[in-house]
Amino acid sequence: MKKLRRKFYNRDTLIVAKELLGKYIIYKKDNCEYIVKIVETEAYMGIKDKACHSYNNKKTKRNEIMYGNCGILYVYLIYGMYYCANIVTREKDVPEAVLIRAAEPVKGLENMSTNRYGKDYNELNKKEITGLTNGPGKLCKALGIDKLNNGDDLCSYNIYLAEGEHEEFEICSSSRINIDYAEEYKDCPWRFYIKDNLYVSKK
DNA sequence: CTACGGATTTTCT
DNA sequence: GAAAATCCGTAGT
């Protein structure tokens, strides 16, 4: 599979969010190779976007990664219990990113099952199988992504994104999930997902 | 099928 | 001290 280069990420964040659909995340950890296909993303559009951590150019210890180079993972803890994985876009000092909301498991299913439920993949019922990676917190749990992955370079060997075979699918968009506080930005159609894919988190 | 509340803790004000 | 880019179980339709 063809690895995505740095300049893929240094483009308009909405374009990157859309083009990330269908791409593969390859992550090597604990002697296991995890592969998932991205099926749902959300764009966070930086200093003007009230839903974005960097709204109004706010810079904190948590979000400083967004102000750095693109093609880097931004991971943070949400609601005290789950992690969310984002990919930083644009050039340095333009703090935008794409949240990876959901993915389809491709390889490393046994390990994902253990990470999520503490049991074998072949013991999972149908709901547990789709529940492996159909949400931002679930995806991180399945892949074992946590705080330590904040700042990981996606143009490296252990973790990177790649293009698969050319594949036809229809892209849907909608408003983003759980950002009611974002006022006039809460209805922007900046969430993208692959139509009819089983692992999309909602609708 | 949808709707609600509780869990849990880091981060920022 | 409040909020948070979530998830899950339970209850109701």
For A76-134, how does the pLDDT look when each residue is reduced to its tens digit (9 = 90+)? Answer: 999 999 999 999 999 999 999 999 999 999 999 999 999 999 999 999 999 999 999 99
Average pLDDT of every residue of chain A: 96
Domain count, chain A: 1
The DSSP element (H or E) to which A2 belongs, if any, is strand A2-3
At residue A1, the pLDDT reads 87
Angstrom distance (rounded) from CA A146 to CA A135: 15
State the average pLDDT over residues A124-145. Answer: 96
A77 touches strand B (CB under 7 A): yes
Nucleotide with the nearest C1' to A81 CA = B8
Q: Does a structural domain hold residue A200?
A: no
Q: Does a structural domain hold residue A25?
A: yes
Q: How far is the CA of A137 from the C1' of C6 (A)?
A: 6
State the average pLDDT over residues A187-203. Answer: 94
Angstrom distance (rounded) from CA A47 to CA A49: 6
Residue A24: band (very low, low, confident or very high) from pLDDT cuts 50, 70, 90: very high
Q: How far is the CA of A104 from the C1' of C1 (A)?
A: 39
At residue A26, the pLDDT reads 98
pLDDT at A164 over 90: no
| Residue type present at position A10 | N
Q: How far is the CA of A76 from the C1' of B3 (A)?
A: 28
A58 touches strand B (CB under 7 A): yes
Does this model's pTM top 0.75? My answer is: yes
Q: How far is the CA of A58 from the C1' of B7 (A)?
A: 29
Q: Does a structural domain hold residue A202?
A: no
Q: How far is the CA of A137 from the C1' of C10 (A)?
A: 21
SS3 helix, strand, coil % of chain A, rounded to 5? Answer: 25, 30, 40
At residue A48, the pLDDT reads 96
Q: Does a structural domain hold residue A114?
A: yes
Distance of CA A2 to the CA centre of its chain: 19
Angstrom distance (rounded) from CA A141 to CA A146: 8
The three-state secondary structure class of A49 is coil
Q: Does a structural domain hold residue A203?
A: no
Q: Does a structural domain hold residue A199?
A: no
CB A151 within 8 A of CB A65: yes
Nucleotide with the nearest C1' to A62 CA = B11
pLDDT at A139 over 90: yes
Q: What is the CATH number of the domain that holds A55?
A: 3.10.300.10
Q: Does a structural domain hold residue A150?
A: yes
Among residues A22, A24, A13, which one has the least CA distance to residue A161? A24
All residues at 6 or more sequence positions from A97 whose CB lies less than 8 Å from its CB, including other chains: A13, A44, A52, A66, A74, A86, A87, A88, A89
CB A89 within 8 A of CB A13: yes
At residue A165, the pLDDT reads 86
Nucleotide with the nearest C1' to A44 CA = C5
> Residue A82 pairs with which residues in a beta bridge?
A78
Q: Does a structural domain hold residue A97?
A: yes
At residue A189, the pLDDT reads 96
Structural domain span for residue A146: 2-194
